[in-house]
Structure 1
Amino acid sequence: MDSQNNNQPHEIEPIIEYEDCTDYVPSQEQVMYEREIQMRMRERRKAAERRRVNRNRTIALILLLAIIFIIVKSCSGGSGNKDESSSAADSSSVSSVSSDSSKVAEANINKTDSSKSSDSSTSGNVSTTGKKIEQINGMTFVDDVLIVNKTYSLPSDYDPGTSAAAQNAFDEMAAAAMNDGIYLFVNSGYRSYQEQETLYNNYAWQRGTDEADKVSSRPGHSEHQTGLTFDVNSTEFSFGDTQEAKWLAAHCAEYGFIIRYPQGKEDITGYSYEPWHIRYLGVEKAKEVADSGLCLEEYLGVTSDYKYAEDMNENTSTASSAVSSAADNTDTNYYADYNTDYNTDYNTDYNNYNTDYTDYTQY
């Protein structure tokens, strides 16, 4: 019997007693706690959603600003264009016809006798290459090309804005470059006398005039003031090794431009090699200069040196006197005091600055 009872399965008594919870009613505190937990979870989800939306908006804004920046850069040259009548009012006194002023702003214009007044132009003067030199209202034209360099300056009130012809030619060139997979844009275009003065003074203060004169023009001597010059893409010397610079050098003459300060001509132009700096001359003239293998000073037969500079605003002597003075090694000229003031003031201040503030770079 005992063995039989041992073989019978035993019922296992539960250790934990289970209660029927079907009728369980949570307390008010528990209900409030659960609601608080749910609210916190909802707030976290909302915060996460807000962060996602803000992040997407930020990315979209950055992309939009980048697109706007590229468009503004490519169009910045055209934005400086001024009304033709306004340009005429600022730069004439040579002629009563407003269209003559815009002609003066173009480098390759074919001037007529009616665009010159007897008291502001001279005739019968030639450069060392036999090209005719004329002065019109303080500006110098050689073979009908407006020349601006270290010898020849522009009046401080000459303010033509960007040349429409130059801008149109650049736009056409940029479109052709784009077809070849090359992206060209205007880094710097028209620059007023006052803007150039500020730029040059900064260079002179930082480096002294000797170094500043190699990379920047003194006010009145910058081609940017003509409205016919553009700095393309980058003003870093490394630009010369890029495909954009090579394309520009090979094709710019086809659209009326030249590389204004070519390599190997530094002693003649007075400036370091600038593969980004192009000057508009018109297609015919640009091709002539490019095919000659000469820089513009050599082609026109003129100098580029501050010691031969003349005050074009006050002195109506012939522009060829600058060429002859170079041959005679004369030092009597308008910029004698100008050079002395800049070299003395800025170089002295620059040296003192380096001596007194040796740690200034940390600022």
Structure 2
Amino acid sequence: MTKRRLTRRQRQVRRNRIILACAAAALLIIIIVIISVSMKGCSKSKNADKNGKSTTAKVEESTQTKENESTSEEVSSTDTNTDTSSAIMSGEVSSHASSDSSEFAPPVVPSGNTVSKGTTSKGFQIQEINGATYIDGVLIANKTYALPQDFIPTNPDQPVNADRSSTCLDKTLMSAWNTMLKDATAKGLNIYIASGYRSYNYQVNVYNRYVKSDGAAVADTYSSRPGNSEHQTGLCFDLNTIEDSFQYTNEGKWVNDNCYKYGFCIRFPKGKDSATGYQYESWHLRYVGVDLATKLYNNGDWLSLEEYFGITSQYPN
């Protein structure tokens, strides 16, 4: 078969086609490259966005974690503070309980001119301080030991500004009384101070009135002569109705069985007339501090101060 020879024109046309094809191919390759580069750029941009988002998320997460840790630390700190506060409060409660015990401590013994007067029959020291008698640090006012006419409470809760008052009693006594009153009230009991401090001059009128009514001999069994009354000390008071019937009331029974827990004693116990010099008074409480009051309570068989200290209570004439 004989090969056909192309004319010059045909060869030119063929050459142009090849050139165009090559150009088209080159253009296509360029377009592909451009598209490829563009797609890679987008991919990088997306990756950058993803990485950026991821980094931001990590930063935010880290920040949130720190905030949570900070919050946790604050909570922990708050809990610690709360625990510390609770501990402090617990300490305060404990301190308050101790304070209660200290509130039920013996009355403060005043300073001043002190003279030793020997000892009692049971070996307790007798001292005279500013004219008043103290036995083992306990102020005594009975028929044997009188108070000076000008004696007034040495540690009053309120200033002594009247001849008769329920507010100028001893400060330690009042603290103990308020606690006892609160506890009694919580049990539905109604106790109140009917008679507190009485001055020497006030007692003059009280005693003379009873002498006029019943005679001195009888009056001496239930009323003190001026200077010999415990009411002048500011360390005692009469509760509620000053009648024998008080001992049979719920209030009287509770007071008899519980007053020692607050530092009070039944000053003139039942059946102890010969020791105290006075008839039984269920309503008359004397503050001596919880330690001594517990000893005087004697498991329910009350002792008088006279019996405990080994002293007398008798008028000289």
Higher percent of residues as strand: 2
* 1:185 aligns to 2:178 (yes or no): no
Which digits, 9 at most, give the CA deviation of each residue in 1:129-159, with x for residues without a partner? 1111111111111111001101101011112
Quick one: structure 1 residues 286 and 207, their matched pair in 2 at CA, closer, same or farther if it must change by over 3 Å? same
Which digits, 9 at most, give the CA deviation of each residue in 1:229-267, with x for residues without a partner? 010111011111111100000110000100000101011
Mapped partners of 2:251, 2:178: distance in 1? 15
Deviation at 1:110, TM superposition (A): 6.5
TM-score norm. by structure 2 comes to: 0.60
Tell me how many residue pairs correspond in the alignment.
198
Mapped partners of 1:204, 1:157: distance in 2? 23
- Find the counterpart in structure 1 of residue 303 from structure 2: 294
RMSD of aligned alpha carbons: 1.8
Which digits, 9 at most, give the CA deviation of each residue in 1:292-314, with x for residues without a partner? 7421100011000002xxxxxxx
- Find the counterpart in structure 2 of residue 304 from structure 1: 313
Which digits, 9 at most, give the CA deviation of each residue in 1:278-324, with x for residues without a partner? 000011121122127421100011000002xxxxxxxxxxxxxxxxx
- Find the counterpart in structure 2 of residue 30 from structure 1: none
- Find the counterpart in structure 2 of residue 44 from structure 1: none
Mapped partners of 2:244, 2:298: distance in 1? 24
- Find the counterpart in structure 1 of residue 158 from structure 2: none
| 1:62-211 equivalences in 2 (<5 Å) | 108-109=106-107, 115-117=111-113, 120-122=114-116, 125-160=118-153, 161-211=168-218
Gaps of 5+ in 1: 1-105, 308-335, 337-363
Mapped partners of 1:190, 1:183: distance in 2? 21
Mapped partners of 1:201, 1:158: distance in 2? 20
TM-score norm. by structure 1 comes to: 0.52
Mapped partners of 1:243, 1:162: distance in 2? 25
| 1:268-287 equivalences in 2 (<5 Å) | 268-287=275-294
Gaps of 5+ in 2: 1-103, 154-167
Contact 2:107 2:173 in 1 (8 A): no
Give secondary structure in 2 for the equivalent of 1:290.
helix
Mapped partners of 1:302, 1:138: distance in 2? 18
Matched residues, percent identical?
45
1:241 alignment partner, one of 229, 248, 255: 248
- Find the counterpart in structure 2 of residue 325 from structure 1: none
Contact 1:107 1:145 in 2 (8 A): no
Contact 1:270 1:304 in 2 (8 A): yes
Mapped partners of 1:121, 1:153: distance in 2? 15
Contact 2:197 2:231 in 1 (8 A): yes
The 4+ residue runs of structure 1 with deviation greater than 2 A are 106-112
| 1:23-62 equivalences in 2 (<5 Å) | none
Q: Which has the larger radius of gyration?
A: 2
Which digits, 9 at most, give the CA deviation of each residue in 1:166-212, with x for residues without a partner? 11211110110111111110000011101111000000011110010
Give secondary structure in 1 for the equivalent of 2:242.
coil
